[in-house]
Amino acid sequence: MEKKYSNKYLIETGIGLQDVDGLKNSSYFLCEADRYVKGEISLEQLDDLVNSYYESKQGENERTIEADIVSNRIAQIISDDSFVFTVGQLISIHKRLFEDVFTHAGTLRDYNFIKREWVLDNRSVVYGDYVELQSTLEYDFDVERKFKYTGLSTDEIIEHLATFIANLWQIHPFREGNTRTTAVFFIKYLRSLGYDVTNDVFAKNAWYFRNSLVRANFRFIQKGIESDKSFLILFLRNLILGEKNTLRNRDLRIIIDKQETKPSRETRIIELIEKNPQISVKELSEKSSVSPRTIKSIIASLKEAGKIKRINGKRFGYWKIL
């Protein structure tokens, strides 16, 4: 049977989507993943290698293990076009991605929560009520299933898809792993609609995708802030139409209390380290719009002030906030 998707697209999408939760893959996984890209091993062999590696290795960071396992599973799931547009399919994807990673894989959450977001000035989206998760999902799926795309312009289709995926994400049916599950489901749904989304948009802009979903679901009428899907639409235009719109996370950020000063560079660096303890100087520079040289200077000051500490060395270590 003719091969549908390139190894590079599959594995880089899996790796890139870990960024939505600040996860980074191990150097071992990246090395073996490169062998897969070159066609030397299959995804199944990559899975076996990763499992064997962690069976014999002690003390590895759990977040790194999660990134390695789930990256490969994302590649496996999106390599296959089989798909049904049902709530059960969404739940099944979550279970396949996180089985043996989360004890609650494939089950709806049973509590409500908030997530403070840097992009919202440390405020949270209002997520779906856990009591009504199943019924809310069924309603949204039923509405989308009955929706007719015939006769719509491309702009109208993309705006509708943005509304659908933003609403689905806002429900947040699972305890963890919602954005990665939503992304995988959406990729497969778009392909079932006939769209070729085999580009690197998810691989390179996963964090932007998540932040655009946050902005699409946040309202603060008291401060004159309405939900804004424009950032998500830019992402989808790049994904579906192959456009080259600039996608910068800093463009999504809002300062809700205008009289408040913008957080200092040091505060921003600590926020990024808290989100991803394994973050590199290069990533800190990109996400804070500060030069690598300045980042190194800030880190040195934070270390001297006893606010952060490097654990296990430069190459394989991580930052600890004190």
Residue 298, domain CATH: 1.10.10.10
pLDDT value at residue 275: 84
Report how far residue 169's alpha carbon sits from residue 160's, in angstroms, rounded to the nearest whole number. Answer: 14
C-beta of residue 110 within 8 angstroms of C-beta of residue 129: no
Report how far residue 234's alpha carbon sits from residue 212's, in angstroms, rounded to the nearest whole number. Answer: 9
Please list, residue by residue across 217-251, b when 16 or more beta carbons sit within 10 angstroms of its beta carbon and e when fewer do: bbeeeeeebeebbebbbbbbbbbbeeeeeebebee
Report how far residue 116's alpha carbon sits from residue 23's, in angstroms, rounded to the nearest whole number. Answer: 18
Structure token digits, residue 31: 């090395």
pLDDT digits (tens), the chain, 322 positions: 345 899 999 999 999 999 999 999 999 999 999 999 999 999 999 999 999 999 887 767 899 999 999 999 999 999 999 999 999 999 999 999 999 999 999 999 999 999 999 999 999 999 999 999 999 999 999 999 999 999 999 999 999 999 999 999 999 999 999 999 999 999 999 999 999 999 999 999 999 999 999 999 999 998 889 999 999 999 999 999 999 999 999 999 998 876 444 567 888 888 888 888 888 888 888 888 788 888 888 888 888 888 888 887 777 778 888 7
Indicate whether 55 and 191 sit together in one domain. no
How are the residues of the chain apportioned to helix, strand and coil, as percentages rounded to the nearest 5?
60, 5, 35
The sign one gets for the Cα dihedral 20, 38, 186, 159 is: positive
Q: What is the pairing mode between strands 308-311 and 318-321?
A: antiparallel
Indicate whether 129 and 217 sit together in one domain. yes
Distance of CA 24 to the CA centre of its chain: 12
Indicate whether 299 and 283 sit together in one domain. yes
Indicate whether 235 and 91 sit together in one domain. yes
Which of 42, 61, 80 terminates a domain? The answer is: 80
Indicate whether 212 and 71 sit together in one domain. no
Indicate whether 185 and 308 sit together in one domain. no
Indicate whether 108 and 222 sit together in one domain. yes
Domain that holds residue 213: 83-260
Q: Which is nearest to 180 in space by CA: 149, 207, 198?
A: 207
> Nearest 5°: CA angle at 251, between 247 and 255?
155
pLDDT value at residue 258: 60
When divided into structural domains, the chain yields a total of 3
Q: Which is nearest to 247 in space by CA: 19, 64, 5?
A: 19
Indicate whether 290 and 143 sit together in one domain. no
Indicate whether 113 and 68 sit together in one domain. no
CATH number of the domain that 136 lies in? 1.10.3290.10
Structure token digits, residue 244: 């080259």
Name beta bridge partners: 16. none
Indicate whether 198 and 94 sit together in one domain. yes
What residues contact residue 190 under an 8 Å CB cut-off, 6+ apart? 161, 197, 239, 240
pTM for this model (two decimals): 0.80
The sign one gets for the Cα dihedral 256, 259, 265, 271 is: negative
Q: Burial level of 261, CB count in 10 A (0-12/13-18/19+)?
A: exposed
Which of 80, 108, 135 terminates a domain? The answer is: 80
Indicate whether 141 and 43 sit together in one domain. no
Indicate whether 158 and 65 sit together in one domain. no
What residues contact residue 218 under an 8 Å CB cut-off, 6+ apart? 120, 123, 125, 225, 227, 228
Which of 48, 80, 112 terminates a domain? The answer is: 80
Helix spans in 17-153 (H): 27-37, 43-55, 62-78, 87-98, 133-146
